[in-house]
């Protein structure tokens, strides 16, 4: 059980930058926390969870300078669930990203499994990053309904094109073939335009995924805005996820709008973060239509270094109508219209 | 099929020590052997096995110096079964360990999947380390009966606290929540106190795991002693595993005591090792109660370097009453009271 | 979702050579492409595939100099399917290779999962390397029928012996025990002798695998020849795979001969490659016997560097009799005697 001798890799400040020479980088995040959840009318429960501040991961990435402004790169990134030692539920070794790229003055062409721009706002403009007890994904039916082989955040078989950055303006196009000769179920296309300059960040995205042989589409429209006032950074996103009303994998789902308003406040080297999320089920049956929710969250991040932080987060979900969104780790069986309250305290370490 | 060019990592003597600076370490063990097993009354069989001297593994670990005596660390470690290329049967990528730690003058707080102190003696005081043809686990029903989501050696979702080392004296506390709101099935708690000083090593541990909704407990008591006389190091452990008598995953199991007496003898740079293990089934039905076993093992380790060794091990299991413990890799169907004899010759290489 | 800081590994020219000092090497290939397939009488289809030029992989290998001409080494290599982020379908983490070796003047003894010499010619003498849209494996029933736990290319539990290289002449012996006490199903033995000197490459192999309790054998005979004329390198292999006629995992299969004639033509730093493969089903039922196929392929490899290449490949399969071999990624249901045409364009990046 002992290691006689070990290979130590020297730590360097280098990261893969715009003008980087050829390099290969090993990187990762290990994040674990203790979570308390109380669902109304049910006993409370304590559990260990992972990825409360940053998604657990282990990755290998590299860039090769081909000369003449041309570069090639790869990125292989696995999930790391520190609480149980698993990678993820879908059995993919490199579920977070597995891509190969060609980059140059023309921008970047990237092939493989990756995040789709269609859902980008839901984590880019959420102070809690769609992870942990307070992520905006908690009060969303759509996220847990993979409307084909694609998941909500990541898509297999994508060809992506990223334009160069024009003074803060950048666009991205993504296409994934359906890999289905009988019909086009699973075909995914998405685009996003973003402007980032100093304190300003504005972004808009649109995406579609064919959900059946009749070419009915899951349509996603996203808007994100952030402004850094110095004393605080305000963030907001609006995401309209238009899934044809129906039953997907046993879950009744349909069109759903999410609105988030958030803020991050620097406190010395540390940070306070807070958010309000409103989930609005639209169309479909009247029961579905009235099943909405509000979520409130506040958290504190205590940075021990650039790589390591302690954090604490508290959140409350208030359901309306037939909705019974609840925090994971709580007792099952929350009644419609009930509330779910949770807290977690944890440590994040990146390398 | 060819590798055009490769990334070579420079090998350094550095390991993660007490006063180490920030570092990330890649480490591992690849160990494979050929095993011969003869079960009484059945044909013999030859197979390839792994981890005869040291458990096959691939890991990434690191320590970051946060200043002021504070450090953060992570440890991600996978199984490596060299004979077949698999990691393990439970599908966990980092089944051996996935933890994040905060360390300081106060000791260490560690979160995640790890070895539990409740079973520590069974490998820390076994010259064969509960692996290979001669490990003490061979003649144990308890080890193969995971009495909840926890396994015998490793437990998910643990919060551990390690005290500082007071002149050789160190204590460890471990707790894993049940992650079960309906009742406490799966809750695990354990503690261990050890004293290591020069030739002396003494240790005691206790642990409990809730095995059902009635909060019946799997109780583990362990004692370990070792003394290094120079010409030889004597080891012994006594492990009382008190599982409520019943059927677990189709296997009848109950209280079981194990007693090991072992010795390691240095021969120049090499080593002879031997052990006697007595398994005593207690309580439960009279048939179970009388199903005991003795195991005798001897082995030789020929070190080619600090990292690489050849090894040979021979062992014999003598069953009594209804017991039919047999070495893995042998013909199935050993009769009650039969014997199982095995040998393996292999190579271990660590990096 | 962001990486605060990263560990950069310095890139060195070093590879594991004959006189290498102790080292550990991280290496890999990420290869993805877009593929078009048209099966006769069916709609065409577009998909993303991986490993069109070089098999996607991530590996760790090392060599330790033990002194006196003795060396130890390990090799752990995983599949990387960049299009979907998976490793492979069989769930093995190190499916490509997991071995530990002892090397010296006597040659090399290697233990663990590895490529078997019995099938070596099918990729060593194929300009397309049995991968991608044009590999010789496309028109083979045998390859997809694993006649026991062994697969066609790689075998678990192997003990291999490689002789030293005598002026270009080298031999290899491989044996894998059946790990089956009841009978010898799964036992595998194989040998190969090769001569490589300047422009000449000649090789012959033979292997057997027990496929049932009656010790019926899957017999493999392979011959490979290549000659480099400078302006072009000619390659050819003949592989006789003699599987007892029967149904294996629902697929009717039996004896099958494959003949490949190929050529690679350097064009500056780049390469044209082409092949003709004839598949001849022999013995068994008359329907099976007459189910043959011809395959024609041509491709171009545009090397951007030693590590990175763009490639394009086109291929056509012409079936005869009851055969309906088709390229993966195409519409299912190709009629007997139909044709399958495909093209792919991709990028390969190694590190």
Residue C236 — very low, low, confident or very high, per pLDDT cuts 50/70/90? very high
In-domain check, residue B23: no
Q: Are C64 and B346 within 8 A, CB to CB?
A: no
The rounded distance, in Å, linking the Cα atoms of C9 and A14 is 9
Identify which of C12, C76, C112 has the shortest CB distance to residue B83.
C112
The rounded distance, in Å, linking the Cα atoms of B173 and C216 is 58
Q: Are C181 and B43 within 8 A, CB to CB?
A: yes
In-domain check, residue A280: yes
Is residue B11's pLDDT more than 70?
no
Q: What is the pLDDT of residue B350?
A: 95
Q: Are A7 and B351 within 8 A, CB to CB?
A: yes
Residue B3 or A146, more confident: A146
**Under DSSP, is residue B186 helix (H, G, I), strand (E, B) or coil?**
coil
In-domain check, residue A12: no
Is residue B216 classed exposed, middle or buried when 0-12, 13-18 and 19+ CB atoms within 10 A define those classes?
A: middle
Phi, psi for residue C57 in degrees, rounded to 5: -160, 160
Mean pLDDT for all residues in chain B: 89
Residue C85 or B249, more confident: C85
The rounded distance, in Å, linking the Cα atoms of A282 and A257 is 7
pLDDT mean over B169-198: 93
Identify which of A34, A82, A85 has the shortest CB distance to residue B95.
A85
Residues of B in contact with C123 (CB under 8 A): 1
Q: Are C7 and A26 within 8 A, CB to CB?
A: yes
Q: What is the 8-class DSSP label of residue A21?
A: -
In-domain check, residue C1: no
pLDDT mean over C101-124: 96
Residue B202 — very low, low, confident or very high, per pLDDT cuts 50/70/90? very high
Q: Which residue has the tokens 């390469």?
A: C271
**pLDDT, tens digit, 9 for 90 and up, residues C146-200:** 555 457 899 999 999 999 999 999 999 999 998 877 788 889 999 999 999 999 9
In-domain check, residue B159: yes
Q: Are A32 and B99 within 8 A, CB to CB?
A: yes
**Under DSSP, is residue A136 helix (H, G, I), strand (E, B) or coil?**
helix
**pLDDT, tens digit, 9 for 90 and up, residues C258-310:** 999 999 999 999 999 999 999 999 877 777 788 899 999 999 999 999 999 99
Q: What is the 8-class DSSP label of residue B81?
A: B
Optimal mutation site among A1, A23, A37, interface B, most CBs of chain B within 10 A = A1
**pLDDT, tens digit, 9 for 90 and up, residues B62-109:** 999 999 999 999 999 999 999 999 988 778 999 999 999 999 999 999
Identify which of B9, B42, B304 has the shortest CB distance to residue C24.
B9
Q: For residue C154, give every residue at least 6 positions away whose Cβ sits within 8 Å of its Cβ, in sequence order, or none.
A: C95, C96, C97, C113, C114, C115, C116
Q: What is the dihedral of CA A175, A177, A257, A315, to 10 degrees?
A: -90
Q: Using alpha carbons only, what angle is made at residue A176 by residues C303 and C272, rounded to the nearest 5 degrees? A: 20
Whole-model pTM?
A: 0.93
Q: C65 vs chain A: nearest CA distance in angstroms?
A: 14
Nearest CA to B94 out of A78, A271, C176, A142 is that of A78
Q: Residue C338 maps to which CATH number?
A: 2.40.160.10
In-domain check, residue A23: no
Identify which of A11, A156, A306 has the shortest CB distance to residue C4.
A306
List the domain range (segments joined by +) for residue A336.
Answer: 31-350
> By the 8 A CB rule, do B229 and B222 touch?
no
Residue B329 or B283, more confident: B329
> By the 8 A CB rule, do C178 and C168 touch?
no
Q: Which residue has the tokens 């504190």?
A: A300
**Left (φ > 0), alpha (ψ -120 to 50) or beta: where does B168 sit?**
left
Q: B304 vs chain C: nearest CA distance in angstroms?
A: 7
Q: For residue A231, give every residue at least 6 positions away whose Cβ sits within 8 Å of its Cβ, in sequence order, or none.
A: A265, A266
In-domain check, residue B11: no
pLDDT mean over C94-102: 97
The rounded distance, in Å, linking the Cα atoms of C77 and B30 is 12
In sequence order, what DSSP letters do the residues of B225-281 get, joined into one string? EEEE-SS-EEEEEEEEEEPPSEEETTEEE--EEEEEEEEEEEETTEEEEEEEEEEEE
Q: Are C74 and B349 within 8 A, CB to CB?
A: yes
Residues of C in contact with B327 (CB under 8 A): none
Instruction: State which residue of chain A sits closest to C48, comparing Cα positions.
Output: A157
Domain count, chain A: 1
Q: Are B11 and A7 within 8 A, CB to CB?
A: yes
The helix (H) or strand (E) run that includes residue B122 is helix B121-124
Q: B91 vs chain C: nearest CA distance in angstroms?
A: 9
Q: Are B330 and C181 within 8 A, CB to CB?
A: yes
The rounded distance, in Å, linking the Cα atoms of C250 and B346 is 38
Tell me the two tokens of residue C236: 């050819």
Is residue C48's pLDDT more than 50?
yes
Q: What is the pLDDT of residue B146?
A: 59
In-domain check, residue C326: yes
Residue B138 or C40, more confident: C40
> By the 8 A CB rule, do C351 and A63 touch?
no
Q: For residue B335, give every residue at least 6 positions away whose Cβ sits within 8 Å of its Cβ, in sequence order, or none.
A: B40, B41, B324
Identify which of A97, A112, A351 has the shortest CB distance to residue C32.
A112
Q: What is the pLDDT of residue A146?
A: 59
Q: What pLDDT tens digit does each residue of chain A (351 aa) get? A: 222 233 333 332 223 333 345 778 889 999 999 999 999 999 999 999 999 999 999 999 999 999 999 999 999 999 999 999 998 877 899 999 999 999 999 999 999 999 999 999 999 999 999 899 998 888 888 887 755 545 789 999 999 999 999 999 999 999 999 887 778 888 999 999 999 999 999 999 999 999 888 889 999 999 999 999 999 999 999 999 998 888 877 777 889 999 999 999 999 999 999 999 999 998 777 777 888 999 999 999 999 999 999 999 999 999 999 899 999 999 999 999 999 999 999 999 999
Could you tell me what percent of chain C has a pLDDT over 90? 74
């Amino acid at each position: 059980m002992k290691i006689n001798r070990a290979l130590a890799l020297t730590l360097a400040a280098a990261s893969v930058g715009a003008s980087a020479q050829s390099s290969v980088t090993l990187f990762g995040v290990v994040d674990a926390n203790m979570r308390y959840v109380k669902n109304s009318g049910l006993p409370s429960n304590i559990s260990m969870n992972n990825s409360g501040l940053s998604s657990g991961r282990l990755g290998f990435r590299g860039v090769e300078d081909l000369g003449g402004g041309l570069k090639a790169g790869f990125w292989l990134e696995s999930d790391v669930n520190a609480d149980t030692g698993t990678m993820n539920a879908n059995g993919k070794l490199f579920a977070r990203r597995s891509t190969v790229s060609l980059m140059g003055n023309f921008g970047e062409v990237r092939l493989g499994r990756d995040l789709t721009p269609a859902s980008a706002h839901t984590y880019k403009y959420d102070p809690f990053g769609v992870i942990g007890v307070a992520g905006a994904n908690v009060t969303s039916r759509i996220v847990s309904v993979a409307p084909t082989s694609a998941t909500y955040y990541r898509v297999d078989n994508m060809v992506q094109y990223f334009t160069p950055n024009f003074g803060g303006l950048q666009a991205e196009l993504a296409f994934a073939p359906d890999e289905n000769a009988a019909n086009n179920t699973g075909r995914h296309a998405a685009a996003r335009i973003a402007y980032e300059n100093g304190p300003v960040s504005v972004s808009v995205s649109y995406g579609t995924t064919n959900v059946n042989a009749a070419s009915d589409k899951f349509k996603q429209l996203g808007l994100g805005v952030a402004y850094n006032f110095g004393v605080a950074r305000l963030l907001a996103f609006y995401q309209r996820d238009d899934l044809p009303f129906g039953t997907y994998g046993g879950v009744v789902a349909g069109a759903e709008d999410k609105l988030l308003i958030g803020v991050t406040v620097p406190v010395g080297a540390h940070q306070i973060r807070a958010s309000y999320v409103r989930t609005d089920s639209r169309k479909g049956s009247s029961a579905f239509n009235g099943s909405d929710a509000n979520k409130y969250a506040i958290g504190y991040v205590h940075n021990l270094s650039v790589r390591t932080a302690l954090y604490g987060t508290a959140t409350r979900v208030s359901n309306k109508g037939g909705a019974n969104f609840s925090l994971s780790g709580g007792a099952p069986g929350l009644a419609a219209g009930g509330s779910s309250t949770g807290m977690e305290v944890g440590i994040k370490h990146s390398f």
